[in-house]
Structure 1
Amino acid sequence: MKSNYKTLGEHIRLVDERNKGLRVTQLLGLSISKQFIPSVANIIGTDMENYKIIRKNQFACSTMQVRRDKKMPVALLQEVDEAIISQAYPIFEVKNEKELLPEYLMMWFTRSEFDREACFHAVGGVRGSLEWEDFENLQLPIPPPDKQKEIVKEYNVIQNRIALNQQLIQKLEETAQAIYREWFVDFEFPNVTSSGVEMPYKSSGGEMVWCEELGKEIPLGWENERLSSIINIKDGTHNSPSPTENGYPLVTSTHLNLYDIKLTETYNISEEDFIQTNKRSKVYKYDILFSMIGTVGLVNYVLYDEVNFAIKNVGLFKTSERKEIAEYILFYLKSDYMKLYLASNPNGSTQNYVTLGFLRDMPILVPSDKTILKFEEISKKVIETIHLKTKENQKLTELKEFLLSRLATVE
């Protein structure tokens, strides 16, 4: 053991305080991403007095299924002063915060290397649990308190910047969706009246016509079409290429975020399989990916300058071939109408899925060229800003990971 390495057991102790008298009411759960989340457990008829109280700067963890999940869920409570959590979770705290800062310890738990070590020590067959004694015997470097504070401060600066960017991204996304609803659901898009004044279309008396297929009035000149009549729609491979140590990422539905893809969580396939898969469904910048299985309806707008991944069981909307309507289709796929259409999906036995034919048959309202052009001008600016902030967060995340990796060598 290095001179500044200590075992966890030297610096932590278990805490077991029960919710007697039902004094604490806020119930939290623990996610595999090492965060506290509002609990979704059914607690009807449950004796809440037996639940554990967790207080600020205390930790909760799960030692079950560590090997299976390849992660050990552990989180530090900081958002609230106290809460309750299932009695199944061990709760522990730092013995002396003047020697070891809880925030510094949480940084150590966040490292991928920590999860690998926990997984290595996990036992218990398929479930792969980690014994508490083995957890306490795990080691970490403990530099002087001032050094810990310096490291935590540097880490928090990065974390706060990422959080601010996420808030801006969410606000921009909400703004663009609000514009979409106003223009293409309420039909209050900008319209120049006969007097030369720009007014909302429907409320200013814009001419509406009855659409039999939709069962409602739509603006004059708009058409109701099948999505496949205006855009090419494909899907990814249905095969399961063998994983390789080096190669190209294979993206599935679980890897889709709105404006980026969790490429670090994919597995690699060989160049031969990559080429073969791309014969069916080559992805380009400005295409839209759509989850077809599991959590159906997740959408990703591909904004990578160079696309070096393949897709499996993912719908591919070739909006790179129709850039003039790409953003309109993007927000249509995320609309409330789309959610209702997916709810009518007749498929799904052991898990939900949609067929390629179902996606191709989706009805879509096609506005006038002038209205589409105006919407594209606005939405492109919003998405460009979102893309820049997303790329910034990717770089910040890389910097954060680099900082975490350096913890093993601090003195």
Structure 2
Amino acid sequence: MRKSGYQPLGKYIEQVNVRNRDLTVTNLMGVSIEKRFIPSIANTIGTDLSPYKIVKPGQFAYGPVTSRNGDKITIALYNGNEDCIISQAYEAFRIKDTTQLLPEYLMMWAKRPEFDRYARYMSHGSVRELFSWEEMCNVMLPVPPIEEQRRIVSEYQTVERRIANNEALIQKLEETAQAIYHHTFVEGIDEENLPEGWRKGCLEEVTICFDSKRKPVAGYDRTGKKSIYPYYGATSIMDYVDDYIFDGEYILMGEDGSVVTEDGKPYLQYVRGKIWVNNHAHILQGKGLYNNNILYWSLNNTIIQNYITGAVQLKLNQQNMNSIPVIIPDENTLIKIQKILNPITDYIYCLNKDIGLLKKLLSLLTSKLS
């Protein structure tokens, strides 16, 4: 990081160590590896919050411990409307003069993968590796004129707003699709007295399972220029590789590890294109008129808790998965619901694809800072 024209970060920042002595602040927050302030889920009943540090809007916090953090440093800029408190284990700091260095510009620098790698490399300790305050101050970064910083930040935030708008629209579309499915398949439906042409069945009757096509990813390059195919796990993309197993549209359903949500429903991913899937997800397609869209929203409304095995390592084996009950409507109902759900699902897919491209653009913008 020590390049010509770079400045030490310590020139621009100073520690903040204001404690919550009078207990006036109750908004307890933490910092995630996604580099955001998030509401704390810690049980604070009976906890003395007076030693906790107060963070004001526009200030930063970071977790010095990096050894068990997914090779990332937890650092974030607080953008809340009121003061919050954080654990005394965090370091809090602020920028001395925002006419010299914008907080948002510094946060862009902190979001770079290179910054995470640098923080891990410079962390020291025997039991826990720490990225100390001294090391934070030694970070070297380019500090262009403030007008140039504003321009860079403006470009970055424009893309961030586009992503946020897409995510909000996706949420509304998913709620709409969920309501349509619920109205058609759940409301007013008596499972013991189904409409004419409807029947009870099991998941095996309406799906094709491709689990037998899975194979280990070992030996495939994950770093080269051809590493363009998503490598999916139970809940998300894990990496990119230079080959693929599946090509089409699939529903991925968590098999072990992350199998069931807090409300007892399965972890699902609707994926399209050329992909690789590891052994932690079942690979399914809808069968016949019970297409992928109906299958996806059906599983989204299904409680699978009773089909999970294992105490320490949760698992939904294929036999149990196949036996999950489903309601199978008549053909006319399936065709009708397809016409409604298909365009909604297609639009959600396009928005997610747009988000993926926008995130790549964010990465490109931050890479140009160096």
TM-score norm. by structure 2 comes to 0.90
What 5-or-longer segments of structure 1 have no aligned partner?
Answer: 188-201, 203-207, 256-261
1:128 aligns with 2:129: yes
Please name the residue that 1:285 is paired with: 248
Alignment of 1:5-404 (within 5 A): 5-66=6-67, 69-125=70-126, 127-187=128-188, 211=191, 216-235=192-211, 237=214, 241-242=218-219, 244-245=221-222, 246=224, 250-255=231-236, 262=237, 265-266=238-239, 268=241, 278=245, 283-296=246-259, 297-304=266-273, 307-319=274-286, 322=288, 325-335=291-301, 338-339=302-303, 342-404=304-366
Percent identity reads 35
Deviation at 1:182, TM superposition (A): 0.8
Please name the residue that 1:259 is paired with: none
380-389 or 239-248, larger mean C-alpha shift: 239-248
Please name the residue that 1:198 is paired with: none
Give the direction of change, closer, same or farther, for the CA distance of 1:330–1:98 in structure 2 (3 Å limit). Answer: same
Give the direction of change, closer, same or farther, for the CA distance of 1:243–1:267 in structure 2 (3 Å limit). Answer: farther
Deviation at 1:323, TM superposition (A): 6.2
Structure ranking higher in helix proportion: 1
The count of aligned residue pairs is 358
Q: Deviations over 1:274-327 (max 9, x none)?
A: 6xxx4xxxx3322211111122121111223xx1424322111123x5365221
Task: Find the aligned partners of 1:114 and 1:94 in 2 and give their Cα distance.
Answer: 18
Please name the residue that 1:197 is paired with: none
Task: Find the aligned partners of 2:215 and 2:309 in 1 and give their Cα distance.
Answer: 17
Deviation at 1:2, TM superposition (A): 4.0
Task: Find the aligned partners of 1:68 and 1:76 in 2 and give their Cα distance.
Answer: 18
TM-score norm. by structure 1 comes to 0.82
Deviation at 1:57, TM superposition (A): 0.5
RMSD: 2.1
Task: Find the aligned partners of 1:323 and 1:367 in 2 and give their Cα distance.
Answer: 10
Deviation at 1:346, TM superposition (A): 4.8
CA contact (8 A) 1:66 1:118 kept: no
The DSSP-based 3-state class of the residue aligned with 1:45 is coil
Query: Which structure has the bigger radius of gyration?
Result: 1
Deviation at 1:117, TM superposition (A): 1.1
Q: Deviations over 1:239-296 (max 9, x none)?
A: 57356444665422142xxxxxx3xx42648x6xx6xxx4xxxx33222111111221
The DSSP-based 3-state class of the residue aligned with 1:350 is coil
The DSSP-based 3-state class of the residue aligned with 1:20 is coil
CA contact (8 A) 2:206 2:290 kept: no
Give the direction of change, closer, same or farther, for the CA distance of 1:126–1:220 in structure 2 (3 Å limit). Answer: farther
